[in-house]
Structure 1
């Protein structure tokens, strides 16, 4: 569970480090992505590192990084290598402060190429497993402090349903991203530091004049 951190109101881009969701009441896996169609679970931790980027000007979201495949049981991994994950979403609805949700009227699934959400996961040089998007009818992706399945209502939780496509064929299973997220503070640009230094210098000069 991760507490919400603040960010500048002027910021147009927010970045979050993705962490596994501690949902173990019904599952023996710790995971950030579950793909039922391929019977696979993936961890954003344990050597993995994935970043979610949200732009509140273009209303686009991307998830990029690497994950470790899990077997049944926390900390029991299938292979020593990492999987690449690339997933993008467009036309999301801005909730303010770096939070967002999908628009319910734009959902479609057609091989991962024409919907709002599409991407893939891949292990090494093997063929990628494509991820599409849930059909319209409900919010299919959301990042919010909704406390989803967590008692702590201050937790930033991401959830999203995806339909996988592979070699042009849609599977019948529905699968999900389910993770907690930690806001990555945006460093002040160099120009900002120079501006602050300038203000500081003016303050020093003013005090010196008063003493004189």
Structure 2
């Protein structure tokens, strides 16, 4: 069954559809300046595909926690221990639950650490649980920066490795990466290069 996600209309009034099967088989990169509508586009994509596919959102600003009200996404607070994050991510894969990893209020190092641990645990799930999952990472340049900044090298390597796994090797494991960034120059090249859409 082919499912077209309604993303709006094109010039002339025809519906703009996005093929969910194609999206799950590839990776998507959304790029635009601050205020250009990246988060709005991601929200539209998530709302329109919620009934069709499991979703995991890495949310650095708390923009997507309201998905829990309408669609039942579990909101996971990123301020947890490594063991707790691994356990939750593992159960998310096993039970095919959609969730939002909320990193709002955490320092950059803590955000990178939590996202890296969570994504790696999803990536490392047993083969029996490799169901299709739409993995959306907003402000991806925070988790896969092109240059080291004011964060610890340990947090940067953990997060960058997890994002690389998601975008380069995740498809085989059912993980369909959708990343949004303000500028391609701020995003690690090996992460951005894998996005075919």
Q: Give the structure-2-normalised TM-score.
A: 0.25
Name which structure has the greater RCO, CA cutoff 8 Å, separation 6+: 2
* Bigger Rg, structure 1 or 2: 1
Question: Which one has the bigger strand percentage?
Answer: 1
Question: Which one has the bigger helix percentage?
Answer: 2
